[in-house]
């Protein structure tokens, strides 16, 4: 699975062959060993997406947990960092989402429902708890997620170096300042 998702992420789903997956997984290339585990290349993709949805539970539990630091800005910074880390952990699936999943509307819907909407709901709930005076936490969550995702995408496209030459820490701290004004940075935990 890891070998297939890596190849899908680097080369694209359509450019990756079953023989390449078998070779990368240590099986005899072209011998059909993959078919002992999966009925098709698409089944491999489906399983990879399922694993991504399951892996997302760590970030969700982090958003709900008490392990966040003191101070609203620090909590928000920790969540934004966790979001970037999650995008990086699932780099191959995220690349597939951007490049290949439009060809599979049912799988695109699965990612939207099981990953994107779930994360959006969790970030919205986090913002509601952290910023009770915010008029539209759902929209703010969408803006925050878009900003973090776009930052990650651009850095990934440019080999890890964001083209605007703003390093990750500066980006995250600027995002925090925009979302959590200084006067709202209360030291009490939620």
**Residue-range domain boundaries for the chain:** 1-55, 57-190
The pLDDT of residue 190 is above 50: no
| 1.10.10.60, 1.10.8.420, 3.30.160.340, 3.40.50.2300: CATH of 1-55 | 1.10.10.60
DSSP state of 126: H
d(CA 75, CA 142): 18
The pLDDT of residue 31 is above 90: no
- For 141-154, the pLDDT digits (tens) are 999 999 999 999 99
pTM for this entry: 0.82
Range 40-50 average pLDDT: 90
The pLDDT of residue 69 is above 70: yes
């Amino acid at each position: 699975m890891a070998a297939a998702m890596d190849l899908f992420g680097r080369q694209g789903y359509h450019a990756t062959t079953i023989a390449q997956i078998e070779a990368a997984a240590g099986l005899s290339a072209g011998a059909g060993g993959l078919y002992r585990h999966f009925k098709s290349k698409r089944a491999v993709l489906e399983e990879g997406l399922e694993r991504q949805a399951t892996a997302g539970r760590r970030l969700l539990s982090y958003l709900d947990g008490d392990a966040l630091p003191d101070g609203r800005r620090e909590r928000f910074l920790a969540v934004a960092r966790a979001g970037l880390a999650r995008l990086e952990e699932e780099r191959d699936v995220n690349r597939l989402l951007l490049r290949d999943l439009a060809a599979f509307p049912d799988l695109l819907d699965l990612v939207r429902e099981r990953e994107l909407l779930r994360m959006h709901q969790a970030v919205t709930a986090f913002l509601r708890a952290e910023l009770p005076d915010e008029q539209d936490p759902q929209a703010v969550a969408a803006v925050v997620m878009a900003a973090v995702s776009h930052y990650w995408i651009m850095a990934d496209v440019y080999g890890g170096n964001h083209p605007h030459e703003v390093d990750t820490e500066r980006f995250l701290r600027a995002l925090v300042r925009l979302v959590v004004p200084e006067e709202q940075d209360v030291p009490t935990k939620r």
